[in-house]
Structure 1
Amino acid sequence: MSLLAVENLTVSFRQDGKTTQAVRGVSFSVDRGETVALVGESGSGKSVTALSTVSLLGDSAQVDGSITYDGQQMIGASPARLRQVRGNDISFIFQEPMTSLNPLHTIRRQLAESLELHQGLVGEAAHDRIVDLMTRVGIRDAAERLDSYPHQLSGGQRQRVMIAMALANKPDILIADEPTTALDVTIQAQILDLLAELKRSENMGLLFITHDLGIVRRVADRVCVMKDGEIVETGPTAGIFANPRHPYTQKLLAAEPSGAPDPVSDGAGEIARTDHLKVWFPIQRGLFKRTVGHVKAVNDASISVREGETLGIVGESGSGKTTLALALMRLIASEGGITFRDRDVRKWSTRELRRLRKDMQIVFQDPFGSLSPRMTCAQIIAEGLGIHHVDPDRDTRELVAEAMRETGLDPAAMDRYPHEFSGGQRQRIAIARAMVLRPRLLVLDEPTSALDMTVQVQIVDLLRDLQRKYGLAYLFISHDLKVVRAMSHKVLVMRHGDVVEQGPVDALFDDPQTDYTRALIAAAG
């Protein structure tokens, strides 16, 4: 008997008098000590299928079929039974940590809550377990980060906290929904090794949801390929990769960012530059909050980016990549020189900087956290148009529809809200919101991390086309080195706030000069 068995699962959602079928006739099983991967594009039904296992879908969902855990039916189970199973027997790692972590509670409190509820651990025993969990998932100086709030951690660090919470109670089944999306390649390798070790040592079943086929090849025993709510192909991993039979599976396996951006014109002007930029955050202790040290988030960074040029920024989570970009845009305080389009903007007031905001835009790493849940897709994309008076003579909805089509979204969905889109679709809304203003400099903070492989290729092609058409300069922050190589002219490597290496993309990838860069490239391969 399988530990988790899903048979003929059908999930429908009813809204405004209409019924939408998200999953149709899905069947698969997960045994102890086995990893099953659900693979497919955003919106294919992977996450809906996973959430159905312990009835985590909303009241608008109609779930039919059979889902059994350890022989017991989960569809229609009592609330008390579901509470017992959730987080204890079946645990989740969700795709977007900011939607799952409480912004008002420290990391210590959130991990301790789970340990006390399910294991009765409190006090020193709970503290030791929390430190051990955070250390195992790759958080440096774990004991010192326990009293941090989620917003004080990088995207990758928040994802690691989510993984620690999911593993805290040693579940029988771990359902991992894009668990390595926000992680750099070295930590990704560590997390995958950790999950494999736990699967072996705890005889745990693992349902792994991902769009990254490289990870699937590495961790999965069996693969289920989903498209439009159905499983179109299933089988052992080796067989699926060696001989894919369904055209959709063949398309997924062939999708990989490749090529290179157009060369930068010799006469291209400089868009932005930093000179010896430094961002140090004070560490304050005691009743009077005395400064006892500093977190050196960015230490002496000098960069330059020209019209039509992409500077890729790589490094582990917490290395200072995003902090560097935010400082360049004057969104956080810093020391050192900052020049934008030949103007020294270090001492500009907020009012003066507002005139430049149209020309410098950013796509944030976590689309759900950066999109207002109370605004429709059209309102989100159009907000900047009114503020910056872009194309006032054109119809706003027409401009929104054009931006949505450019980023692979259906304009017919412009009146829907963020929660009604998949994770990948929300990321595309964030890209459309920035692109609609036609900026001169665009900071892309992990813009493809939430996207499936086929859409990654589309977004890379889109960004290169827009760069070619408008002469855009990009700061491209990513842990996906394949995407960085396909997008970038130059690459900057950061570690612990320091710039350890920078240079032309081919030279850096083909002949890295530092051990750290070589380790990053090896982990990605």
Structure 2
Amino acid sequence: MARGETILQVEDLSVRFGEGSGAVDAVRHVSFDLARSETLALVGESGSGKSVTALSVLQLLPYPLASHPSGSIRFRGEEMVGAKPTVLQAIRGNRIAMVFQEPMTSLNPLHSIEQQVNEVLLLHKKMSRTAARARTLELLRLVGLQDAESRLGAYPHQLSGGQRQRVMIAMALANEPDILIADEPTTALDVTIQAQILKLLKELQGRLGMALLLITHDLNVVRKVADKVCVMTHGEIVEAGPVAGVFAAPQHPYTRKLLAAEPKGQPPTSHPEAPLVMQADNVKVWFPITRGLLRRTVGHIKAVDGISLAIHAGETLGVVGESGSGKSTLGYALLRLQRSEGGIRFNGSDLQGKSWGEMRPLRRAMQIVFQDPYDSLSPRMSIHDIVAEGLKLHDMGGSDAGRRQMVAAALEEVGLDPATMDRYPHEFSGGQRQRVAIARAMVLKPRFVVLDEPTSALDMSVQAQIVDLLRDLQRKHDLAYLFISHDLRVVRALADRVMVMKDGRIVEEAPAAQIFSAPRTDYTRALIAAAFDLEVIHAAAVRT
């Protein structure tokens, strides 16, 4: 096939969910072409129809709940809409592969990493198990998974979010597809791995002539890797064209809004004389490595290896580093959600050695907001029950009516309508769900909050809103934050001080302004270069 020849044609595509008066038109009259070796980006906020459009290409929508009132999708001249199952099975995962946004829900929790990558090779390539194992190792190394051979027997829950996403990318690339559909492929990745993965995808694209359909909310990624861009909102493409032209001179107001959306501003002014809220001294979290029939310990994974820190009231300590550097494990250890060694003091009280019962009264003042609002909220509980759960546990609010008032006040404080408290999580957008998660933490009036990647799953415009909200809440309640993130743009807008972690240790710690203007180590410089320039990071600099 000639270079630049069109291999995917989407014409007048519409997608409708449901029937009759309750029907929702998720995608309306979308058209675009994708050529060999070309990268087309679909951008827009959550709910704009990007992922529904991509899933339509492979006919992966929940039919017959979903229907196509109009439209055609042709892959190399073959119609996909209404195609026979045998046709679709030959194309899915073979000629067109897809990397989904959330790897934890896409990977089978009961199968090892080797089994899941092997399955793709055994199904489509008919390889022997020995050849499939060798190819699996090659793919895992290709996508930058460290110690790939030792990870073959690991299960998804034993890997970090970034490591799981790399496994998903390896599976998608296994059969060298004609088209790779990447639905937010770098959302869960730290900035240096993001740069490496984007570089890898471009190299593979050049070698294989692979076309890339990229779905993302990160306009910096689009600017770096895409040839063309389609901007979507409310199920429609409102602007399309070459990336350089659209970004330099956006014509539609919505495109201008997206390009202007980025976390800005400075963290609230903290005071050195403010009381010390959280203190850690030489904290260690080591996980044993066992081998043999008797499972003897032959070594340790040093997830956190001698970390000391201090956080005052009204202060934000940003913790950055690559996936697997120990950031989240440190946060869990400080909250006593992870067993650790070393000193941990909260409000002057030594936490180490306290029993579960002794810790319970302190839990109210120590809260956490998790990375993914889709996973951290129970789909079976209403928003009221989710936010009120902690109030009941800590016997706050007195009566049901009193707790309902407290829930209403918490929702209002995070910018949500209290009248929606009897709805369920699936009725809210990603940004709204994250506000619910923040309300759940704030309703207990905590003093210390661990924010574990609270904006990474959100659109850039929603990220800016959440950062503003977190700053306002900190200013109002004099909160101490441990802010864990791989997004240095967000860290710069929120953190007073920044601690850079690598392999469980601190490689650099300083005021945020100093970290971003004059980093002292090669590792920190590599992180900053990847975050703000998305330049190719030399492995020697990253791994120093």
* Common topology (TM > 0.5): yes
- Give the shorter-chain TM-score range: over 0.9
For 2:414 and 2:124, the matched residues in 1 are separated by: 44
Mapped pair 1:222 → 2:250: no
Are the equivalent residues in 2 in contact too, given 1:112–1:122 (CA < 8 A)?
no
Query: What's 1:302 paired with?
Result: 308
Are the equivalent residues in 1 in contact too, given 2:451–2:482 (CA < 8 A)?
yes
Mapped pair 1:61 → 2:66: yes
SS in 2 for 1:308: coil
Query: What's 1:314 paired with?
Result: 320
Are the equivalent residues in 1 in contact too, given 2:103–2:168 (CA < 8 A)?
yes
For 1:53 and 1:409, the matched residues in 2 are separated by: 35
Query: What's 2:482 paired with?
Result: 475
For 1:490 and 1:375, the matched residues in 2 are separated by: 37
Are the equivalent residues in 2 in contact too, given 1:280–1:298 (CA < 8 A)?
yes
Equivalent AA in structure 2 for residue 163 of structure 1: I
Deviation, structure 1 residue 177? 0.8
For 2:357 and 2:113, the matched residues in 1 are separated by: 36
Cα distance change on mapping 1:38 and 1:286 into 2, 3 Å: same
Are the equivalent residues in 1 in contact too, given 2:396–2:403 (CA < 8 A)?
no
Equivalent AA in structure 2 for residue 73 of structure 1: E
Query: What's 2:538 paired with?
Result: none
Mapped pair 1:29 → 2:33: yes
Deviation, structure 1 residue 122? 3.0
SS in 1 for 2:458: coil
Q: Deviations over 1:215-268 (max 9, x none)?
A: 000011011111111111111000011100111111111111121111113431
Across the aligned residues of Structure 1 and Structure 2, the Cα RMSD in angstroms comes to: 1.9
Query: What's 1:391 paired with?
Result: 397
Deviation, structure 1 residue 429? 3.5
SS in 1 for 2:281: strand
Equivalent AA in structure 1 for residue 313 of structure 2: E
For 1:204 and 1:154, the matched residues in 2 are separated by: 28
Are the equivalent residues in 2 in contact too, given 1:33–1:205 (CA < 8 A)?
yes
For 1:189 and 1:338, the matched residues in 2 are separated by: 35
For 2:273 and 2:489, the matched residues in 1 are separated by: 28
Are the equivalent residues in 2 in contact too, given 1:96–1:368 (CA < 8 A)?
no
The equivalent position to 2:22 in structure 1, one of 18, 28, 31, is: 18
The equivalent position to 1:345 in structure 2, one of 351, 357, 361, is: 351
Residue ranges of structure 2 left out of the alignment (5+ in a row) = 533-544
1:49-448 equivalent positions in 2, closer than 5 A: 49-59=53-63, 60-64=65-69, 65-392=71-398, 394=401, 396=403, 399-407=406-414, 414-419=421-426, 421-448=428-455
Cα distance change on mapping 1:289 and 1:84 into 2, 3 Å: same
Cα distance change on mapping 1:314 and 1:307 into 2, 3 Å: same
Mapped pair 1:42 → 2:46: yes
Q: Quick check: 379-388 or 107-116, which moved more?
A: 379-388
For 1:6 and 1:413, the matched residues in 2 are separated by: 38
Deviation, structure 1 residue 356? 1.5
Deviation, structure 1 residue 422? 4.8
Are the equivalent residues in 2 in contact too, given 1:155–1:366 (CA < 8 A)?
no
Cα distance change on mapping 1:16 and 1:503 into 2, 3 Å: farther
Query: What's 2:539 paired with?
Result: none
For 1:374 and 1:73, the matched residues in 2 are separated by: 39
SS in 2 for 1:174: strand
For 2:90 and 2:422, the matched residues in 1 are separated by: 39
Equivalent AA in structure 2 for residue 296 of structure 1: K
Cα distance change on mapping 1:417 and 1:108 into 2, 3 Å: farther
For 1:179 and 1:378, the matched residues in 2 are separated by: 33
SS in 2 for 1:186: helix
For 1:376 and 1:82, the matched residues in 2 are separated by: 38
% identity of equivalent residues: 63
Q: How many pairs were matched up? A: 525
Are the equivalent residues in 2 in contact too, given 1:491–1:503 (CA < 8 A)?
yes
Q: Deviations over 1:335-374 (max 9, x none)?
A: 1001011100101111221212221111222333323233
Q: Quick check: 399-408 or 182-191, which moved more?
A: 399-408
Are the equivalent residues in 1 in contact too, given 2:9–2:32 (CA < 8 A)?
yes
SS in 2 for 1:433: helix
Query: What's 2:496 paired with?
Result: 489
For 1:77 and 1:414, the matched residues in 2 are separated by: 43
Q: Quick check: 152-161 or 393-402, which moved more?
A: 393-402
The equivalent position to 1:6 in structure 2, one of 5, 10, 18, is: 10
For 1:43 and 1:129, the matched residues in 2 are separated by: 37
Q: Quick check: 258-267 or 86-95, which moved more?
A: 258-267
Are the equivalent residues in 2 in contact too, given 1:52–1:63 (CA < 8 A)?
no
Q: Quick check: 94-103 or 15-24, which moved more?
A: 15-24
Are the equivalent residues in 1 in contact too, given 2:272–2:312 (CA < 8 A)?
no
Q: Deviations over 1:302-340 (max 9, x none)?
A: 011111110000000000001111111111111100101
Query: What's 1:466 paired with?
Result: 473
For 2:184 and 2:416, the matched residues in 1 are separated by: 21
Q: Deviations over 1:480-515 (max 9, x none)?
A: 111101100010000011111111111121111111
SS in 1 for 2:250: coil
Cα distance change on mapping 1:473 and 1:8 into 2, 3 Å: same
For 2:110 and 2:424, the matched residues in 1 are separated by: 25
Query: What's 1:517 paired with?
Result: 524
For 2:466 and 2:77, the matched residues in 1 are separated by: 44
For 1:478 and 1:257, the matched residues in 2 are separated by: 13
For 1:388 and 1:511, the matched residues in 2 are separated by: 45
Deviation, structure 1 residue 388? 2.3
Q: Quick check: 385-394 or 448-457, which moved more?
A: 385-394
TM value normalised by structure 2 = 0.92
For 1:17 and 1:25, the matched residues in 2 are separated by: 20
Are the equivalent residues in 1 in contact too, given 2:122–2:129 (CA < 8 A)?
no
